[in-house]
Amino acid sequence: MEILYSRIEGEGKPLLVLHGYLGMSDNWKTLSGRYADAGFQVHTLDLRNHGRSFHSDDFSHELMMQDVLQYCKYHNLEKISIIGHSMGGKLAMFLAVNYPNLIDKLVVADISVREYSPHHQDILNALNSVDFSIHTDRKQVEEVIAQYVDDFGTRQFLMKNVYRITPEKLGFRMNLKSLTENYDKMGIEIPKNSRYEQPVLFLRGENSNYIRERDEQDILNIFPKAEIETVSNAGHWLHAENPTEFFDFSIKYLKS
């Protein structure tokens, strides 16, 4: 039985943080400390095939859901709050509609209930173009990624996955092969007949199109007590682009 890697800090009610596709717990270092200071025991997870967690050929929301349940059982966590971003937000929604008694509070960051068609192709092409037998320093790796990914912030986010396997050899922390092969499973919708009757906070980035106006009714059909707030001056990585506003919205809800 393999248990997900996590960073645990603080004392109090358990709060799980679930990162997005190709992300990891390290992306949340600054904010997780703030939630810990606010009175939560914060569990920032690396989901399967990401960060320091185990690698598997199999990858789906169903499997990730079982991983989180196993994690909660292992750590004796009963009523948990969750903050989930993007893929992690979709996973958090699946947990809420399937295991509502597990959830205390739910914050979904910049993802809706609908199906998303594959749209990370450039990023996957960039990562799969890196050959660590020739690209032996970080600068070379970033140059390869830059041929496919214009945005500096996105490149920095991807470069967090690069680490030294040995003093001579770099590698990716994530299981790129499995993430590439199973990519089409990531965008699935929350089934339309699902319901979760407790309050939920949805946070969207002002400059992001992941939660559009026409998504709002679909969200309310499944999460009738949802509130949708907009984090200003932020795109899809809203927790990194405007951490102060993200924290203020989320902590007010988590403490309510």
Whole-angstrom distance, CA of residue 118 vs CA of residue 51: 22
Cα-Cα-Cα-Cα dihedral of 203, 204, 210, 214, to 10°?
90
Respond yes or no: is residue 19 known to be catalytic: no
Give 77's contacts (C-beta < 8 A, 6+ positions apart).
14, 16, 43, 71
Whole-angstrom distance, CA of residue 232 vs CA of residue 242: 7
From the candidates 19, 135, 236, 239, give the one annotated as an active-site residue.
236
In angstroms, how far is CA 256 from the centroid of its own chain?
A: 23
Respond yes or no: is residue 135 known to be catalytic: no
Give 119's contacts (C-beta < 8 A, 6+ positions apart).
none
Ramachandran region of residue 233, left (φ > 0), alpha (ψ -120 to 50) or beta? left
The angle subtended at Cα 195 by Cα 100 and Cα 232, nearest 5°, is: 90
* Type of residue numbered 140: Q
From the candidates 6, 25, 81, 86, give the one annotated as an active-site residue.
86
Bridge-based pairing of strands 200-205 and 103-109 is: parallel
Give 246's contacts (C-beta < 8 A, 6+ positions apart).
31, 109, 203, 231, 234, 238, 239
**Which amino acids are annotated catalytic?**
86, 236
